[in-house]
Chains A and B, each alone.
Chain A
Amino acid sequence: MTSVSLTIDGKKIQAEEGTTVLQAAKKAGISIPTLCHDDALEPYGACRFCMVEIEKNSRKKLVASCCYPAENGLIVNTKTENSEKIRKLLSELLLSISPSGAHVDIAKQYGIVKSRFKQMDNPESPCSLCGLCVRYCAEIKKKNAVCFVGRGVDRTIALVPGVSDTCSSCRECFDVCDAGKIVYLVDMVQEISCPPLRPVRSKIK
């Protein structure tokens, strides 16, 4: 395996080619907050907490470190004004939908206990839709029993109909869930039916 050399927060770091900036940083003992990342799963890039500033060809750019590949000569700063601003605001956004969950710890690191945003009515809380359960089930278990339904603010996780047997004997996704939502889902829905989807306007030929 060839290795690449990059600089993270002023530290010279050797990383294996094909690894991400996040993995390289972690190896060097630099922690970057994330909600949706797990080393066992494919990078997803949804929570955006891991945004870092990179410098390449003397141009600066904000990227999600969980997806960005470690490259030779790359200069990475994990705690810049902008990346900190993003993390603070994202944790406020999540606090506005749920007072508990993994984001609370990140918020605390920044001294945030209360969100400036209006509290949203969210009976589905405390899920941050990080997708760890969905991806764990699809990528590791290859069962595809948990899925996303809905779009935008209506997005939520659901269990695919007819999987309750598989689920009750497995339940491995409980371990990856920081919010405990999946526990609530599986316990509540024993014989699961798919939530009704909105009718599609135009018929497909």
Chain B
Amino acid sequence: MTTFTSGKDLEQYQKNLQKQRDTKKTCISICSGTGCHAYASEKVVSAFEDQLKKQNLTAMVDMKRTGCHGFCEKGPIVVIHPHNYCYVKVKPEDVSDIITSTIKQGKPVERLLYEDPETGKKIMLETDIPFYKNQTRLIFGNNRKIDPKSIDDYIALDGYKALTKTLTKMTPQQVLDEVKKANLRGRGGGGFPTGRKWETTKNATTEPKYVIVNCDEGDPGAYMDRSLMEGNPHSVIEGLIIGAYAIGAHEGFIYVRQEYPLAVENTENAIQQAEEYGLLGKNILGSGFDFTITVHRGAGAFVSGESSALMSAIEGKVGEPRPKYIHTAVSGVWNKPTCLNNVETWANVPFIINNGAQWFAGMGTPNSTGTKIFSLVGNVNNTGLVEVPMGITLREIIYNIGGGIPKGKHLKAVQTGGPSGGCIPEKYLDMPVDFDELYNIGSMMGSGGMIVMDEDTCMVDIARYFVNFLSSESCGKCIPCREGLRQMSRILNDISAGKALEEDIELLEELSEVVQMSALCALGQSAPNPVLSTLKYFHDEYEAHLHGECPAKVCKALIDYTIDPLKCKGCGLCIKSCPVEAITGGKKGAHTIDTDVCIKCGNCLDTCKFKAVQKTTGKHRENPKKLVTMEKR
């Protein structure tokens, strides 16, 4: 076991590692991030192991399970070095072909290469795939190169070099100044300047001080922190140690969701390795600086991602927010100065130390520097994790990287910032993505969720979905969040059921504003964003619902399924698919749907080969005023 007692020790070890590594040796690297894992990448790994053993190739070939590559749509992804051929959607049965052609003869297996949907050309290298080519992979860059369980893999790629520099050549103040100069802003949502936060904790007079990594990522569809924690835990740990040194903290916590078992496993493993190497513990690298890290597993509440709630959870209390008029940076865990940053924020720190603040600030926009990882999901061709410089436009992300909207459909809106972000209409697609611009149009950066919605999305339904989500995730402590969201959700349910009146929309707007102004924590304060932004940009859709029409034909209460007798061939497929026997019709004769029996599941629409089944909307409220008053009685 190697324990480094000085920076020189580590540098020497790093050099030896780099020398030892045979770059010409064949290495099969298989993405083992959660996305690829779900696509059975483990089976591909076993298939490779079996075949290599059978063919006596084990000694000649290295195998590596890497972190998430980000292009989850195409998983499992396998890259063969030194040629760097990138194979997508690899199945266990493809393994023998890969061994015969690539491993033995150095030739690519054409059918497994990524095909550019625009040109139809096969692309050999991962970096040439448009999805990757248009990104700037800084924080995520090493994810695909290293085995997250191996500290040596990280060290060989200049890992812990920034820590050596920090502890041997810099004072805490110099580290802080560098981060301040880099103008790094918190990646967790608020975009608070990281340097200023560090400074507040550093200057606080109470001891001890704590540092925390917030990896309680709970936004539906967002998984960038997870992939980073799973795929490159040492980069986060290195950033945390550097931050602790600058602040003067000797104890740190990594708060990881219990629902991220691989992240918990890899983090704990990484901490243990760092301890063995003397990169954590007493007198790190002979500098006299002591620092330890504890992993705290979250117990599954979305609200625990809020900093004060997270700190209560670490104290062993219920994860409920508390008022923060005295910042947690001054009075946090056990009322001691505590500096909490998001996973991605900490992972940025080693890059700033290695390359300098000026280099870092050169990326992005003047007020939002560096890169940002987004989790690009929804109605977009290339779903996955993308890292881009701040200031890039939404259009570039969605069309150049994301490959546009599937089935040639039209984009309607993009929701950024997770469940409490706003829905941005198409007219703002050319707006640069940075903290301030997003805030100005009623959305937010959040932790980096980006949900693309096509023309078939109902904006009322979206608002309803997110408010319902947030209402069930509210801790219930303060009245505006608990009761306000309950009523907002009730009104939105009424609107999508076609039971609302004009004044309900006015009340919804008024209530949204009050909740925004008065809720205790950021969950409640930002919860009305999806409602207010859709009310602002898609007001006509709300109006339409009042008149019994759902323009996107989503809200079940306002749509009917009908069969066009001219198109129906009487094949009977829809009759078989209907779970409630709502469709009648003889052989070869046009079928009809009994709308009273129909549960609007959409099976018939999906099964019909002749496009005879249609969705219609708009006849559900001839006279809305009258109808509702009668119902209310």
Interface of A toward B, CB cutoff 8 Å: 43, 45-48, 51, 62-64, 67-69, 82, 85-86, 89-90, 93-94, 96-97, 116-118, 120, 128-129, 131, 148, 150-155, 200-202, 204
Contacts and interface: CB of A to CB of B under 8 A. Distances in A.
B520 A153 contact: no
B409 to A, nearest CB: 35
Given A67-B323, A148-B476, A152-B486, 13 more contacts: A46-B478, A51-B517, A63-B325, A89-B511, A89-B514, A94-B479, A117-B487, A148-B318, A151-B472, A151-B474, A153-B474, A155-B482, A202-B259
Contacts of B233: none
Given A93-B483, A96-B483, A154-B476, A45 B323 contact: yes
Given A62-B518, A117-B487, A151 B323 contact: no
B382 to A, nearest CB: 31
Interface stretch (B55-63, B295-303, B603-611, B612-620): B295-303
B81 to A, nearest CB: 35
A45 B479 CA distance: 10
Contacts of A45: 322-323, 478, 520
A64 B323 contact: yes
Contacts, number: 112
B8 interface: no
B474 A152 contact: yes
13 contacts: A48-B480, A64-B520, A85-B510, A85-B513, A90-B480, A90-B483, A93-B480, A120-B486, A129-B479, A148-B476, A153-B476, A200-B300, A201-B259
Interface of B: 258-259, 261, 297, 299-301, 318, 322-323, 325-326, 471-480, 482-487, 490, 503, 507, 510-511, 513-514, 517-520
B258 A202 contact: yes
Contacts of B482: 129, 152-153, 155
**Interface pairs A-B: 8 shortest CB-CB:** A155-B476, A67-B323, A93-B483, A45-B323, A152-B474, A89-B514, A48-B518, A152-B476
Contacts of B518: 48, 51, 62, 86, 90
Given A48-B519, A200-B300, A97 B473 contact: no
Nearest to B513: A85
B511 to A, nearest CB: 6
Nearest to B258: A202
A47 B479 contact: yes
B476 A129 contact: yes
Contact of B301 (A97, A118, A151): A151
Contact of A96 (B261, B322, B473, B487): B487
A171 B519 CA distance: 32
B520 A48 contact: yes
A158 B318 CA distance: 15
A200 B520 CA distance: 27
A91 to B, nearest CB: 10
Contacts of B318: 148
A48 B478 contact: yes
Contacts of A200: 299-300
Contacts of A86: 480, 514, 517-518
Contacts of B473: 151-152
B490 A204 contact: no
A179 to B, nearest CB: 13
B521 to A, nearest CB: 10
Nearest to B515: A89
Contacts of A118: 487, 490
A68 B513 CA distance: 22
Contact of B300 (A43, A85, A202): A202
A104 to B, nearest CB: 14
A93 B323 contact: no
A83 B380 CA distance: 43
Contact of B479 (A48, A62, A152): A48
